[in-house]
Amino acid sequence: MRAFLFPGQGSQYVGMGRQTYISNGIVRDICDRADDVLGCQLTGIMFEGPDDELRQTRNAQPAIFLHSYAIYQLLNNPRPDMVAGHSLGEYTALAVANALTFDDALRLVQLRGAAMQEAGEQQPGTMAAIIGLDDEKVATICHDVCQEIGVVQPANFNSPGQLVVSGTPEAVAETMKRAKEAGAKLAKQLNVSGAFHSPLMEPARQRLAQALENTPIRDAEIPVYVNVSAQAVTLAAEIRAALLAQLTAPVRWTESAQNMAAAGANRFVEVGPGTVLQGLVKRILPGSDVASIEHQGQIDEFNANTTEA
């Protein structure tokens, strides 16, 4: 069984999708449609930058969604048995599963990115990667610091021993200090515009709630393993609730990959910019069959193997 995975923020880079846009009419149509739907030249920022503009949350999120979705459309008969996306990537997974239309997913992602960026400006926060400590130990440190200093909580359970925390600058700094004292191999602050997947994103959650209420969501045609529970959902009501909770709740990626494997997934295919999820799955499920599809050569190889099969 095959699971398709879609990346989240941080995978963007200037030039993403440019060559595919030039060489493929399907991608051109999708990208031009996106510019029309959003009312801005998102593709110009994707293809030409500048980098600091693309890295802004309000641009990075729709850019990654667009790139991942467009690449997926070039695959011949991909036949995913299940899908999942990391944070933002969950919207791509839902569009692929036909729970959201392309236009609606793109509009939600644009609003989500803008709302998260503005929430970060209103309530400054940051995130840090903690490497080499048990998840439970990091969670305990977060709990203690939260009680003593300010908001901080696990934000991304990315793989065993790799966890991202999120919260106020002071609380995150203290968490990094205590993690190092507890034996962490690395505690590194991330270059982000806010405390994503923490209570500091509540203003963004409120804005997204209204948009979700006004957006049609259908039952998914493919099981979608959602971030907040790491469980497969298909019902529209469950999808709506998961998308809303996601902004202030941790991304349970380790459990998601484990649960997909337990459900029968024996091949994982990351579609979109970068290879972050490929690396995470290899650490979560050593020896698993994992591939990434981003460039034309990888698309051609996938399609050739699918045809042969």
Catalytic residue ranges: 87, 197
Question: How far lies 150's CA from each of 146, 177, 189, in Å?
Answer: 5, 15, 17
The tokens for 4 are 């398709």
H or E element that contains 159: strand 152-159
Number of helices followed by number of strands (H, E) in the chain: 14, 10
Q: What is the 3-state secondary structure (H, E, C) of 121-133?
A: HHCCCEEEEEECC
Contact yes or no for 13/273 (Cβ under 8 A): yes
Q: What is the 3-state secondary structure (H, E, C) of 79-100?
A: CCCEEEECCCHHHHHHHHCCCC
CB atoms under 10 Å from CB of 217, counted, come to 20
- Annotate 36-88 with DSSP letters as a single string: HHHTS-HHHHHHH--HHHHTSHHHHHHHHHHHHHHHHHTSSS---SEEEESTT
Q: Is 270 helix (H, G, I), strand (E, B) or coil?
A: strand
Q: Name beta bridge partners: 163.
A: 130, 157
CA distance 198 to 204: 11
